[in-house]
A = this chain, B = another copy of it.
Amino acid sequence: MTIKDIAIRSGYAVGTVSRVLNDHPDVSDEARARILAVVDELGFKPNSNARHLKQREARGFSIVVKGTHNLLFAGIVEEMQSRIKDAGHSANVYYLDEFDNEVELALQVCREQKPLGILFLGGDRDNFTRSFGKVACPCVLVTTRADTLGFANLSSVSTDDVAGAAAAMDILLDAGHDKIGIIGGENSKNADPLSGYNSSQLRLAGCRQASLKRGIDFNPEKQLRISRYSMDGGYEAAGSLLEQYPDMTAILAVSDVMAIGALRAIYDKGLRVPEDISLIGYDGIEQAAYCIPRLSTVRQDVEQLAKRGVDILLQQTDGGAAVHEIIPFRVIHGESVKDL
């Protein structure tokens, strides 16, 4: 069934049907009523391929989510969708694998859907450097800084990863720990885990800074393990630390998911959190609060990241300049850190 069937059945031309379907103002009430009745009766749905193929004007927003299973992003997406809807717009969400190229996907979306703007949840700096120049619409990168990328149509809303990780580290240091194992997150293969702009790299830099500031040596060889962003990865990494760094008294993981894995690894070695090993995560996902013991962590402000991301995108769509905003994090004191 096509628009043509509706035209025949309603006695109007296809152009008029199209106008009704698109809420075009120049249509008589009579035509609108008649056509909508037929559309309803036949259960007609326009073919969006044809629509997008022809449509030149941009409509709706797109949200590109890097990492299907990312629990932090899951919360942000929901919040964004409802905010976009509240602003009277529609939103399409695209999920891609953690290791796929989000900018290439965005390029395709631009070509084929012509969105008013795009929100990126997470992003790999290299992908942006390489291909973002070809994206024309306003975009906001959420949870990752984009100020140093220097694109005029790319804003960002993020948490200060360096400061956040330093704050997490400070919790452990303040509690008297100075033998701290650290679990970093895997980025693009063979990148230096300690320098660079990806979130794990920034967080590890924060850990090191916090250490050095107190005159405590930071020895990656001994203290650091790199892991996938998964419970399984955290489990392995913590296991390795527990074995090879026996006088360690605390572990910091740069994501809660890995911390949850570490928690179980510690128990499986016959140790307890926080009695034997203190533990702190990062992100502040819902699950952290359901752990036993409740996980101490640094919470990224999901509501604000979503709200400001959408606000800035809407603003930029109206011709505003790119903005780079830092949203404050919050330290969550759970039950997983013990004073020495």
CB distance from A339 to the nearest CB of B (A): 22
CB distance from A161 to the nearest CB of B (A): 25
Is A205's beta carbon under 8 Å from chain B?
no
Cα–Cα, bound, A264→B335 (Å):
13
A77: nearest chain-B partner, CB-CB: B68
Cα–Cα, bound, A287→B292 (Å):
13
Is A290's beta carbon under 8 Å from chain B?
yes
Cα–Cα, bound, A47→B108 (Å):
8
CB distance from A92 to the nearest CB of B (A): 11
A78: nearest chain-B partner, CB-CB: B68
A258-270 CB mask vs B (1 if < 8 Å, else 0) is: 0011011001000
Do B53 and A232 touch across chains, with their CB atoms under 8 A apart? no
Which A residues, 210 to 266, have Cβ-Cβ distances below 8 Å to chain B? Answer: 231-232, 235, 260-261, 263-264
A48: nearest chain-B partner, CB-CB: B112
Set B49, B108, B264, B289: member contacting A290, Cβ < 8 A: B264
Report whether over half of chain A's contact residues are helix, strand or loop; otherwise say mixed: helix
CB distance from A47 to the nearest CB of B (A): 6
For A69, the chain B residues whose CB sits under 8 A away are 74
A294: nearest chain-B partner, CB-CB: B264
How many residues on chain A are close to B (CB under 8 Å)? Answer: 32
Cα–Cα, bound, A298→B77 (Å):
31
Which A residues, 22 to 72, have Cβ-Cβ distances below 8 Å to chain B? Answer: 45, 47-50, 52-53, 68-69
CB distance from A193 to the nearest CB of B (A): 24
Do B53 and A231 touch across chains, with their CB atoms under 8 A apart? no
A50: nearest chain-B partner, CB-CB: B53
Cα–Cα, bound, A101→B3 (Å):
24
For A108, the chain B residues whose CB sits under 8 A away are 45, 48
For A93, the chain B residues whose CB sits under 8 A away are 95
Do B45 and A231 touch across chains, with their CB atoms under 8 A apart? no
Cα–Cα, bound, A235→B286 (Å):
12
Is A111's beta carbon under 8 Å from chain B?
yes
A contact set with B: CB distance below 8 Å: 45, 47-50, 52-53, 68-69, 74, 77, 93, 95, 107-108, 111-112, 231-232, 235, 260-261, 263-264, 267, 286-287, 289-292, 294
27 chain-A/chain-B pairs, Cβ below 8 angstroms:
A45-B107, A45-B111, A47-B53, A47-B112, A48-B49, A48-B112, A49-B49, A49-B50, A49-B53, A53-B53, A68-B74, A68-B77, A95-B95, A231-B286, A231-B287, A231-B290, A232-B286, A260-B287, A260-B290, A263-B292, A264-B289, A264-B290, A264-B291, A264-B292, A264-B294, A267-B292, A292-B292
